[in-house]
Structure 1
Amino acid sequence: YGLKLVVDPVFRAGSGVSLIRGKDKEALLRLVIPKAYILIPNRFEAEDIAGMKIQSLDEMKKAAEKIADLGVKAVIIKGGHLNEQSKMVTDVLYHEGKFRIFTKPRIDVKPHGGGCSFSSAIAAYLAHGNPIPQAIEKAEKFIEEALRFALNIGRGRTPVNPMAKLYNEAEKFRVLEDVYAAAEMIEDNSELFLPYAAEVGTQIAMALSYASSKWHVAAVEGRMVKVGNKIRRVGCVRFGASEHLAHIILTALKYDSNAKAAFNLHYSPELVEAFQKIGCSVSSFDRSQEPAEIKAVEGKTLGWGTEQAIKKIGKVPDIIYDMGEVGKEPMIRVLGTSATKVVEKAISAIKELEHSH
């Protein structure tokens, strides 16, 4: 039938413990592995199949060549158990006489089901018509998200979350729509927001549920700026449009999975007080306390500042402000569950301030 057999040997656990009887392993090596289209052993399984120790990248490559000689079309050796103190994980693909190295950050989790999900993803991407290198490249990204958002339930090893990528894909339209609606709300209420619009431009952003980078955060391209007596979008709503608000949201999400959206306004002590009056929790950070090594990296300040503000009150606040510094505008950031919700929160605070005056 021309089936492409993707084989995860599963006879040595991640701990190195054997999971199979000797005679059954011999049958697997003799009958199944030579028929594999792709073989996906971990370090310990690759050592058994190749008959050699693996303690370096060069030895991973040598083992992959030996395994390919058994008749396997492609071999990818998973390097998660090699040099476990390293901050990076390296997988090695050997296909048609060439090597390809996949390197990714090591995620601090003791996973359960990672190998099964990875091999299943490769099989699925092959079924979609992807050639071997592209199928594995996509599966690498898939399993990285599944590991990053592993499900912290029960005891023992943590099950990976193979649905994380699918949920993100399914949510994209809804998040784009929410940010678009929030931007329209800001434009429609320009007279309220104009006095508090940031001089550097106001931005509204919202993240997917399983966000891990700015490419999972939707915002307005080029921010929103003052045009006469109105506030207008410079560009379209898209993912990856705001690095600054992405740093804030991604940091907040580490502490509260509902803190998906943020909106920035120029700092006003009266407006901060108005937020408090409508029941918002407030915290702040001091840029003068920022470590030099963080200040030296563009964009890192907001992640650091957000974390400081969260730790100060023990939770993700509704409002995070700072007083700025030379060359940095003092700013208020409104956080919440969605882009439209944070804009509604800001409208309520501004109306409260106007009413008190």
Structure 2
Amino acid sequence: MLIFSGFDPSGGAGILQDITIMKLFKINPKAIISAYTIQNENICKNIEFRDNFEEFKLFDNFSTIKVGMANAKQLKLLRNKYNNAKIIWNPVIKTSSGYEAISPEEVIEGAKYADLVIMNSKEYELTKIEKNVIITGGHKNLDNIEVLYNNNKFYSKKYDKDIHGTGCVFSSLISAHIYMNYTVEESIKSSLYYMDNLVNISKEHLETETLAYNFHKSYILEELWHVKNKIIELGKYTIPEVGQNIVFALPNAQNEFEVGKFPGRIHKLGDEVNFIHEPGFFGKSHMARAVIATMKYFPWIRSAMNIKYEKKYIEKAKEKGYKTFYLDRNQEPVEIQTKEGHSIPYGLSNIYDITKEPIDFVWDDGFYGKEAMIRVFGRNPQEVIEKVKDVVLSD
């Protein structure tokens, strides 16, 4: 990834914020300064756009380029140099302090060279570009923040705060998720989730440094805690003999130790549900490996839960319109069946090669020594629990 953005010496926006966001997602970008600014969180005194980029000779290719403060000439240079890259542009017509950076006409011209443009509703009204565009509505007099893309609306909580750098950070979040192969729609959903948390903890500028330090692991464990009571509520219907787990992976998780889980599994004695340990990132887990295997195809599917197999649950899932798939474990090669931890990832890979899309409920009827099981997948634990509840408790 390349970050092509202006230098904000306050660190509240621009290239410094862009890089921090990328690091949050385990992305190590290259960076080129597009413009030098004299500003802080409250005032901008000057912007000087660069027109000569010797750095282009250092870098041959990028899959994704996040562009911040830039003009049309610079966009054209980027497109000519990196013709195959996805260019995502967050143009700045006016800084948050009111300094005029470029004209609306300049944005209309520059948009010709971008694959995706991200701008606020005020900027959009000045340009009315027909390009692939995400329009943020934080300036609108609405109870929530509204984001528009391809006639679809997405919403996020609105805070009574005047914070420097929100547009920059949101566009960086979108760029990071697209770099990780999220669709644009899924990028918006996930980015709004992070923005909500960022704005909530921030004061004058978006404090991504705080988020980078402790957010990911802590929020994953908190999300698992939040569904504990629902696991108990559903337990008498869902916990299989071998025990249960619900997991939630870090973005870009590469192994099961980067996946939050309940170590030791969740067990049932009569109707009593028992947790051996509080949520953590240690311990081996079949469900963690299932999520890792799934994320290789669909990186936004970061949570999963196993429930006991009941034919009526699968029938109800189909009736409700969920995507289901039967995994015939008897077809697994012997070397896979006998190798601990390889069976489910192998089976899921075969499924996704066929479906080319995520599956909500993957089920099997077991084989010798293996209990029949249903595995439920979703973006986060709350979504997974809602799917389980929908098929287990519905009439």
Q: Write 1 or 2 for the structure with the bigger share of helix.
A: 1
Equivalence for 1:212: 254
Residues 216 and 239 in structure 1, CA contact (< 8 A), matched pair in contact too: yes
Query: Which of 290, 298, 315 pairs up with 2:357?
Result: 315
1:257–1:341: structure 2 CA closer, same or farther, 3 Å change rule? Answer: same
**Distance in 2 between residues matched to 1:197 and 1:336, nearest whole Å:** 18
How many residues in Structure 1 have an aligned counterpart in Structure 2?
Answer: 210
CA shift digits 1:168-208 (9 cap, x unpaired)? 95311110011111222111x1xx43133110001111101
Counterpart for residue 330 of structure 1: 372
Deviation per residue, 1:274-317 (Å, 9 max, x gap):
11222211112211211233223210111011112222322110
1:174 corresponds, among 215, 219, 222, to: 219
Distance 1:168 1:328, change over 3 A: farther
Tell me if structure 1 keeps the 8 A contact 2:62–2:85.
Answer: no
SS at match of 2:280: strand
Query: Cα 1:170–1:226, aligned 2, differ >3 Å: closer, same or farther?
Result: same
| Aligned partner of 1:299 among 337, 341, 360 | 341
Aligned mate of 2:299, from 257, 260, 268:
257
- C-alpha distance in structure 1 between counterparts of 2:295 and 2:370, whole Å: 25
1:267 aligns with 2:267: no
Q: In structure 1, what is the Cα distance between the partners aligned to 2:336 and 2:325?
A: 20
Equivalent runs, 1:126-275 vs 2, <5 Å: 146=27, 152-153=63-64, 170-187=215-232, 189=233, 192-275=234-317
Q: Deviation string for 1:197-255 (max 9, x for gaps)?
A: 11000111110112111111011011111123122211111013342111110111111
Q: Is the 8 A contact 2:287 2:304 kept in 1?
A: yes
The separation in 1 between residues aligned to 2:316 and 2:28, in whole angstroms, is 41
TM-aligned CA distance change 1:171 to 1:328, over 3 Å? same
Structure 1: give runs of 5+ residues left out of the alignment. Answer: 1-110, 114-141
Cα offset for 1:256? 1.2
Retained in 2: the 8 A contact 1:319–1:333? Answer: yes
Flag structure 2 segments of 5+ consecutive residues without an equivalent.
4-22, 30-60, 66-81, 87-175, 181-208
Separation in structure 2 between the aligned mates of residue 242 and residue 338 of structure 1, nearest angstrom: 20
Assess if the C-alpha contact under 8 Å between 2:364 and 2:374 holds in 1: yes
Q: Which residue identity is paired with 1:325?
A: F
Alignment partners' CA distance in 2, 1:333 and 1:168: 32
TM (norm. structure 2) is 0.48
Name the CA shift for 1:340/1:294 in 2 (closer, same or farther; >3 Å).
Answer: same
Does the C-alpha gap of structure 1 residues 241 and 280 become closer, same or farther in structure 2, counting only changes over 3 Å?
farther
CA gap of 1:312–1:235, structure 2 versus 1, over 3 A, is same
Larger Rg computed on CA atoms: 1
Matches within 5 A, 1:4-153: 146=27, 152-153=63-64
| Distance change (3 Å), C-alpha of 1:293 and 1:342 | same
Alpha-carbon distance between aligned partners in 2 of 1:282 and 1:152, rounded to the nearest angstrom: 33
RMSD across aligned positions (CA): 3.3
Q: Once the two structures are superposed, what CA deviation does each residue of 1:42-94 show, in whole Å capped at 9, x if it has no partner?
A: xxxxxxxxxxxxxxxxxxxxxxxxxxxxxxxxxxxxxxxxxxxxxxxxxxxxx
Letter in 1 for 2:393: K
